[in-house]
Amino acid sequence: MCDFMEKNRKLSKGNSKNLVNLTLSTAIVLVIVILILYWFALMHPLFSDSVVNPQCVAKPGYLCQTPIYVHTNSGILVVLGQNTGKSWTGANFVFVPQGTNLSNEIPDISFISYPANTVYAKNGTKSGETLDIWLPVNGVTPPVDIGTTATGSIWVQYTTNSNQAPQYAQIATINIKAS
């Protein structure tokens, strides 16, 4: 009987070693697979370039939310608002690509015709109000090409009364994938 028990004890020790080896091997393989997937997500353009979280960072007194690039109309749809304490009697909004030249600290881009959104030029906007704004990007310089990231800022040309000269303000910076 002793010989039988001795053999069983030796077999149990061998099985324990095999189980430990199998567990360690599985853990090492899992770590390698996770590292490979992580590397692909960071380094491979197919994965990293296609994931650009849209960002719209508003300046104090302004609101910029939910920017969406719409390929069919080559433009950015975004929720904008102002809470400056003054209502605007007129407002023209425009997307200004990064790298646009400035003249007297104002972007060298049209605020009164394309690519500006002039829908609120006559109606204006009240302080505290939010608006769904369409900002065309087709034809701006430098161009926003499909598959690239549209980086720049959103500006407004506004007046607070009809006798006032237009004023200019940068509302937000924006970073969005043009897809």
Q: What is the 3-state secondary structure (H, E, C) of 125-159?
A: ECCCCEEEEEEECCCCCCCCCCCCEEEEEEEEEEE
**Domain shared by 85 and 158, yes or no:** yes
Strand, coil or helix: 123: coil
What is the reported pLDDT for 173? 94
Q: Is the dihedral of CA 171, 104, 178, 137 positive or negative?
A: positive
Enter the DSSP assignment of 15: H
The C-alpha atoms of residue 76 and residue 67 are separated, in whole angstroms, by 7
Q: What is the CATH number of the domain that holds 91?
A: 2.60.40
Give the domain-ending residue among 31, 48, 65.
48
**Domain shared by 110 and 33, yes or no:** no
**Domain shared by 132 and 153, yes or no:** yes
What is the reported pLDDT for 49? 45
Structural domain range at position 28 = 2-48
Q: How many CB atoms lie within 10 A of CB 152?
A: 25
pLDDT per position in the chain (179 positions), as tens? 555 455 555 545 556 677 677 788 888 888 888 887 776 665 554 444 444 578 899 999 999 999 988 877 778 899 999 999 999 988 899 999 888 899 999 998 888 888 778 777 777 889 999 999 988 887 676 667 777 788 889 999 999 887 889 999 999 999 888 76
**Number of domains within the chain:** 2
Laid out side by side, the sheet with 130-136 consists of: 62-70, 75-82, 130-136
Is the distance from CB of 114 to CB of 136 less than 8 angstroms?
A: yes
**Domain shared by 44 and 104, yes or no:** no
**Sequence-ordered strand ranges (E) for the chain:** 55-58, 62-70, 75-82, 90-97, 102-103, 106-107, 130-136, 149-159, 167-177
Residues in CB range of 139: below 8 A, 6 or more apart: 114, 115
